[in-house]
Structure 1
């Protein structure tokens, strides 16, 4: 999917360079948290919890985990820099692969009673896209208000008739940063894209992660009985979340903020923020990032977690092109004895991004970072699990574009219960991956090295 629009972004990159419109990533100091900072406070279904209740929940999570600084260092840093609160009483389900994710999403859409807010980078006019269109139209006709944000570049290949059909049924459709400047209501910023994949049902259930609306996910990547894709194309391997509880309200705020910034028509009055209930024991923070922000909140959150890690850093990511600070955080963690492992693609839909990232493999391998390439699937996952207690799933790739030019959304989940599920998912992918050794990497052919050089020339814009 990255390849479908990267050449268009190259043109906008040249324009932006000519105009001097470059932004940069923030430099994090080792100790950003104030030493006199107040205790971390959680939000529950009825609002902020007491300091004592918040401390009891965090102490319980820490007691069940490995020895880690994440609860002492990372939480304090996050509390100082991230706008959304840590929320308790959530229920989080891990969804892997398209068929499982789509079924859960369609089930939630079919059960909607009040409204549906959906935001997606890619929505294709194929079997999966039509399935979602039919479900959304059916709910709109039943009196459920459907509001849809679709990225202009991500849906460039989708016929306008697809969205006209939705609009004709009464669905509010908003095009994010239109490629055509004549239709842009909020200024023309074509290089800034909405890469989020977010679905919110009745303000009570939310889905987020890496899965777009496309038939590339029609085949699974774990079970040999999965549906085969046409022409024996590789199945896409991805990860998504289903969330219920107070965190859904924070994700709803992100959707509405984007709608208003893009000057969409006023949203129909609905119960967008219903009273939440105790649904589970997961502590979750919704983290959204936008190019309009002073810096990427997701980037700062991730760097903080990497620096706080004590035993494990396990990352799985589809598009890996690290900036100097991310590269240093991984190398420094390995140097202090942390088990740093990355699962990365062996096949991709963007060879330029793939080889830009591979230009850093030698440096990482020399530093003791373990690298693996996922076989038999096109990897599109964006996840991390650190020390078995800090996990994140979302739309954010580990590259410059995600941190600087895209709107992204991730969920950070704390605790060993969900961390155990994330570790199991990582190990399942690891079982289907091939480790890259430094000796093997040094023997790669000359043409691969040339591609790496070309990729690095464009890494800021990829």
Structure 2
């Protein structure tokens, strides 16, 4: 009897082991992890949003710039936005509705305009809840392309064999009997929505491109994210073609026939001439970030290494930051406290335990003073007397965002510190760090977690993939 039970148990265990083996050996999809050529004709501008005084005051540059790209497009518009959701009963500005209206209006004004919106299925709770703004876009002749994230490597490898082998075969349907996990006040969803949610994979990009200019940002056109503090870069020239190339895999995965978005334009004049810029996606972002940290030296004009981010937890980067501090580099981090997200308590993971670890190694840390919003920035900046490096975009500094699990897009700049894009980024960071004209950050050690349980939970989640960060 015992032998029969063992034989019976061996089959599912063998199938699971085989599925886990395939999961761990799954390769990065072709065309992702993109590193564009260095460009000089970009005319880049640094943009930011900041919210302060407990959410009562706000300075906003990014969303108006996005709307301007739409308003001036004449040939094409390609958007790739992670959160593009019009939450019901929201007290926040209607970002999704405004952008939807603007896209439809521009399509009517210029009927020959090619427009497409790439997004993540999280906006429909993985097919379980309707999204009326997407229906409006489709009705206006603007295709909405949901990213086929099953093409990606598996962020949650222990769960992946069940998802790929069994649960993914369940058909998507709207409506169900379970509470909406994204917004409990909205329509209920089926079990399948939960089963896909815990794959912990996403198209996390935040980009928009026309034939004239493009924006890569940390900001989403999402109502409940409207007051978040964010950063972005606006640029023109041949780097737009590189951005379009980086989007081709997602368009290729779609079963829908779609136009080939290209932008064969002559280079525009670059007034700076000494700042190289390139598009980076996925693990190419990590590669550039690690090189920038490694390049920071205390003996070379007193380098300052900045990171301003919603999440910092990737273990290789953590080690490099500690090594930089050990060799005397002035390492400065501005972090969100990760206490709350969209009204839900988060317990400070990963930033609190990560910050405790880094502070012990001599890294300087300040905490952005948030209200109902988040410090959602994702930025690295190295400044010295001779050169500066700036890397910003959609990618948090975590395993999911940097190790080829999510889809991410950043832009990397390198060149003379006197260039406007670096001067503006430096002024932004100094303003937050020094609390110039307003209170933005604090150095309170109360934000650090002394609990072993929280430190252990952070380490386990970061290394295993059993996390939402």
TM-score relative to the length of structure 2: 0.70
For residue 248 of structure 1, the aligned residue among 216, 240, 247 is 240
Q: Which runs of 5+ in 1 are unaligned?
A: 1-14, 27-80, 219-234, 290-295
1:369 is matched with 363
Which range moved further: 170-179 or 421-430? 170-179
For residue 354 of structure 1, the aligned residue among 348, 353, 372 is 348
Q: Say if 1:403 and 1:269 are closer, same or farther in 2 by CA, change over 3 A.
A: closer
**1:169-318 mapped onto 2 (5 Å cutoff):** 169-177=140-148, 191-202=200-211, 204-218=212-226, 235-260=227-252, 262-268=253-259, 272-281=263-272, 282-289=275-282, 296-310=283-297, 311-318=303-310
For residue 458 of structure 2, the aligned residue among 455, 458, 461 is 455
Residues 1:334 and 2:334 aligned together:
no
Q: Distance in 2 between matches of 1:238 and 1:17?
A: 42
Aligned length: 361
| Contact 1:321 1:353 (C-alpha < 8 Å) held by counterparts | no
Q: Say if 1:313 and 1:363 are closer, same or farther in 2 by CA, change over 3 A.
A: same
1:428 is matched with 431
| Contact 2:96 2:223 (C-alpha < 8 Å) held by counterparts | yes
- Report the secondary structure of 1:360's partner residue: helix
2:54 is matched with none
TM-aligned CA deviation for residue 264 of structure 1: 4.5
Q: Distance in 2 between matches of 1:283 and 1:337?
A: 27
- Report the secondary structure of 1:305's partner residue: helix
Please give the per-residue CA displacement for 1:33-71, whole angstroms capped at 9, x wherever unaligned: xxxxxxxxxxxxxxxxxxxxxxxxxxxxxxxxxxxxxxx
1:145 is matched with 114
- Report the secondary structure of 2:41's partner residue: strand
Residues 1:84 and 2:87 aligned together:
no
1:56 is matched with none
2:156 is matched with none
- Report the secondary structure of 2:43's partner residue: strand
TM-aligned CA deviation for residue 120 of structure 1: 0.6
2:102 is matched with 135
| Contact 1:174 1:264 (C-alpha < 8 Å) held by counterparts | no
Q: Say if 1:173 and 1:181 are closer, same or farther in 2 by CA, change over 3 A.
A: farther
Q: Say if 1:279 and 1:353 are closer, same or farther in 2 by CA, change over 3 A.
A: farther
Please give the per-residue CA displacement for 1:216-250, whole angstroms capped at 9, x wherever unaligned: 354xxxxxxxxxxxxxxxx4111111111221111
Which range moved further: 410-419 or 154-163? 154-163
TM-aligned CA deviation for residue 450 of structure 1: 3.3
Please give the per-residue CA displacement for 1:125-164, whole angstroms capped at 9, x wherever unaligned: 2521111111111222331111111111255287333212
Q: Say if 1:308 and 1:360 are closer, same or farther in 2 by CA, change over 3 A.
A: same
TM-score relative to the length of structure 1: 0.71
- Report the secondary structure of 1:117's partner residue: strand
| Contact 2:313 2:462 (C-alpha < 8 Å) held by counterparts | yes
| Contact 2:148 2:254 (C-alpha < 8 Å) held by counterparts | no
| Contact 2:334 2:368 (C-alpha < 8 Å) held by counterparts | yes
For residue 385 of structure 1, the aligned residue among 381, 387, 393 is 381
Please give the per-residue CA displacement for 1:165-207, whole angstroms capped at 9, x wherever unaligned: 21111112111126965679xxx995432100010012x3111
**1:105-144 mapped onto 2 (5 Å cutoff):** 105-126=66-87, 127-141=94-108, 142-143=110-111, 144=113
Q: Distance in 2 between matches of 1:217 and 1:82?
A: 28
1:394 is matched with 393
Q: Which runs of 5+ in 2 are unaligned?
A: 1-15, 50-58, 88-93, 151-167, 173-195, 298-302
TM-aligned CA deviation for residue 89 of structure 1: 2.1
* RMSD of aligned Cα (Å): 3.1
TM-aligned CA deviation for residue 453 of structure 1: 3.1
Q: Say if 1:217 and 1:320 are closer, same or farther in 2 by CA, change over 3 A.
A: same
Q: Say if 1:407 and 1:82 are closer, same or farther in 2 by CA, change over 3 A.
A: closer
Which range moved further: 276-285 or 416-425? 276-285
TM-aligned CA deviation for residue 376 of structure 1: 3.3
Please give the per-residue CA displacement for 1:257-313, whole angstroms capped at 9, x wherever unaligned: 3211x2343333665332332144242111112xxxxxx111111111110112111
Q: Distance in 1 between matches of 2:125 and 2:365?
A: 34
- Report the secondary structure of 1:459's partner residue: helix
Q: Distance in 2 between matches of 1:419 and 1:396?
A: 19
Q: Distance in 1 between matches of 2:107 and 2:84?
A: 18
